[in-house]
Amino acid sequence: MMRVLGIDTSFASPGMAVIEIKNGKAKLLAASHIKTNGKYAKLGDEARNRMIYSWTLLFCREYLPIDVIVREKFNSPSVDITRKIFGAWREMDSALSVLGYKDIPETATPGQWMKLVVGHGRPSKEEIESAVKGFLGDVEFATSGKGGTYDESDAAGLALWYAIKEGMIEVSAK
């Protein structure tokens, strides 16, 4: 048995999902997200970073031990966006360190993980969620549809990418 934490890092609405791999099958244990934009944006970047830290700590403590953490590689031409995303990474890494996780998270480019999970590198958010549900069953993600941001299903997709890449589950299993 192995637990994989997938992280869809953003500053405005990061998402996380924990999947458990057992006997070649993936099961969603939990998914979550936090909104730091909207009314919270006026509090400033440091307050928003602390929200991300607290959420990470509270969510992840329930699913220990976590064997592997996977997050999306990030690249932006905007210095301000890069600073904010790496601030969120710092807060998540700090919270995970407090929980005893010391390894460097695995990373994948969007094209890498989407191609393996969905079958091509430029899927819509709806296609990603459908592919993720193909592996996990008809699970519900709070950020899906109705203008949602799909942070939770993206996080689950990242965790599934690792499990597929490492041969823990097969693409034909979905």
Q: Within 13 Å and on the Cβ side, how many CA atoms surround 93?
A: 12
The better pLDDT of the pair 80, 173 is held by 80
Contacts with 57 (C-beta within 8 Å, 6 or more apart), sequence order: 95, 98, 99
Q: Which residues pair with 2 in a beta bridge?
A: 21
pLDDT per residue over 38-51, tens digit each?
Answer: 999 999 999 999 99
State the Cα–Cα distance between residues 20 and 160, nearest whole angstrom: 10
Q: Which residues pair with 112 in a beta bridge?
A: none
The band of 76, judged by pLDDT with boundaries at 50, 70 and 90, is confident
**At the topology level of CATH, where does 2-166 sit?**
Nucleotidyltransferase; domain 5 (3.30.420)
Q: Within 13 Å and on the Cβ side, how many CA atoms surround 109?
A: 8
pLDDT per residue over 87-110, tens digit each?
Answer: 999 999 999 999 999 999 999 999
Domain boundaries, given as residue ranges, for the chain: 2-166
State the pTM of this model.
0.93
